[in-house]
Amino acid sequence: MFDNFLFLSSAALTVCGALAVVLAPNLMHACTYLLTTLIGVSGLYVTLSADFLAATQLVVYVGGVVILMLFAIMLTGGNDNKSVNKFGIEKVAPMGNAKTFTLAGFSALIMALVILKIIANVNKATPKTELPPYETTVEKIGELLITDHVLAFEISSVLLLGALIGAALIARPRRREE
């Protein structure tokens, strides 16, 4: 029952977030919706008992999207329209509306369910029979990345470096020609 609920809620979060990314007129909102989509995909990995992929999804992709948004704000200079209240303190724009808070609450629910699922798997009663030796997938994935798929791994790192350099070149200020 819990697995079905986790799967359905993760799938709903993923699909709704993906639709919101496509339909969002604002780039920052689209990045936030992408963040919720990636959290939903992490929940789907947990329902497939792929805990390593779920953790990798959270650390690499969700963390990467947050860093990407920070780079975008820093490189473009942020908002220059600053207003000051009567005490001389800069006003901060409101950071959301009912839709974003609802989506954030749903994302928090998915994350809580993912954590509960992981804890439930850890706390299961062990059977009295002899268990087979634990085989981790991390060692196999690492071995494949270093041996069979090292070229694809290195090409992806060069691709990401090129994307970062291209973003820096696009965002740098233009010189005025006199």
Kindly report, residue by residue over 78-106, the tens digit of the pLDDT: 555 556 666 666 555 556 678 888 888 88
Q: Are residues 113 and 53 in the same domain?
A: yes
3-class DSSP state of 123: coil
Pair (12, 54) in one structural domain: yes
Q: HSE on the CB side for 152, CA within 13 Å? A: 5
Residues 116 and 161 in one domain: no
Q: What's the pLDDT tens digit per position in 7-51? A: 889 999 999 999 988 888 777 777 788 888 999 999 898 888 777
Are 96 and 104 in contact, with CB atoms under 8 Å apart?
Answer: yes
Residues 72 and 103 in one domain: yes
Q: What is the dihedral of CA 163, 21, 60, 101, to 10 degrees?
A: 140
Structure tokens, 150? 């090292």
| Predicted pLDDT at 162 | 85
Position 4 in a domain: yes
Start-end of H helices in 123-149: 137-146
pLDDT score, position 32: 80
What percent of the chain stands above pLDDT 90?
A: 8
Which residues of 109-157 form beta strands (DSSP E)?
Answer: none
Domain hosting 155: range is 135-178
Residues 6+ away with beta carbon under 8 Å from 129: none
pLDDT at 110: 85
Q: Does 103 lie in the same domain as 18? A: yes
Which has more pLDDT, 72 or 147? 147
* CA 24 from centroid of its chain's CA atoms: 17
Q: Any idea what the CATH number is for the domain that residue 37 is in?
A: 1.20.120.1200
The model's pTM is 0.52
Judge if 19 and 103 occupy the same domain.
yes
Number of domains in the chain: 2
13 domain residue, yes or no: yes
